[in-house]
Amino acid sequence: MRHDRFTTQLLTNVDRIIARDRSAESRLHDVCTALAARLPGYDWVGFYIVDPRHPRELILGPFAGEETEHVRIPFGSGVCGHVADVDHTVIVDDVRARQNYLSCSIAVRSEIVIPVRWQGKFIGELDIDSHTEGRFTAEDRALLEAVAARVASTVEDYRGNLEADCHE
C-alpha cells in the first residue's frame, strides 16, 4: 500500500469515525460518505452484510450514493455474491463484459468488492462502483483492504443489531 500522506490521513479519518460514540449503522454510513467524498470516481460506496438469519444471503447495509434495488443478494449472484463465495477481493474493470453482474445503474463501468472478516470469518463486504472504466487499481485494493480491517468490528456490531431486531 502507498504510505503517502493521503493514505495515512484517510485511514486516520476512518479510525476516528469508527471510534465515535454513535451507532454502528451511523459510523459505517459515515465511512461510506468519507470514501465517496475523498476518492474521485468512487460513485457508490456501500456495505453488504451476511444476514444472520439466512447465512447464504447478503443484505444491503449502510451506503452512500443512489438507492439500489439490490437490497438482498444470494451468495453466488453478481459480483457481490461471487465475492461472498470466494472470500477474496474482486475488481471488475468493465462490468459490461461480465456475465454474472447485477446492475445498479447503467452509468456504472467498474466495481471493486472487498471481503470484511471478523475473527477469520466472512461477515460482509465493502462494494464500490465507479462510472469510470478501469477505475480500481492495486492501490485502491490495498487501501480498501486496510479500511475493511478497520471497520470489521463495527460491521460485526451492525450484524449483531440485525439479529437482535429480529428477536424483538
The yes or no reply on residue 68 touching ligand SME (CB under 6 A) is yes
The yes or no reply on residue 109 touching ligand SME (CB under 6 A) is no
Amino acid (one-letter) located at 156: E
Q: Which of residues 4-63 bind ligand SME (CB under 6 A)?
A: 44, 46
The yes or no reply on residue 128 touching ligand SME (CB under 6 A) is no
Q: Residue ranges of the alpha helices (H) in the chain?
A: 5-19, 24-38, 78-86, 138-167
As given in the structure block, the three cell numbers for residue 54 are 439466512
CA dihedral sign, ordered 102, 108, 110, 116: negative
Beta carbon nearer to ligand SME, 77 or 154:
77
Number of residues engaging ligand SME in binding (CB under 6 A): 15
The yes or no reply on residue 101 touching ligand SME (CB under 6 A) is yes
The yes or no reply on residue 78 touching ligand SME (CB under 6 A) is yes
CA–CA separation, 154 vs 87, rounded Å? 19
- Closest approach of ligand SME to the CB of residue 68, in Å: 4
Contact 85, 67 (CB under 8 A): no
Q: Which stretch binds ligand SME (CB under 6 A): 5-13, 24-32, 66-74, 156-164?
A: 66-74
Contact 123, 87 (CB under 8 A): no
Amino acid (one-letter) located at 20: R
The yes or no reply on residue 80 touching ligand SME (CB under 6 A) is yes
Beta carbon nearer to ligand SME, 109 or 153:
109
As given in the structure block, the three cell numbers for residue 129 are 462502483
What are the φ and ψ backbone dihedral angles of 42, each rounded to 5 degrees? -90, 85
The yes or no reply on residue 90 touching ligand SME (CB under 6 A) is no
Q: Rule CB under 6 A: which residues touch ligand SME?
A: 44, 46, 68, 70, 73, 78-81, 101-102, 104, 111, 127, 129
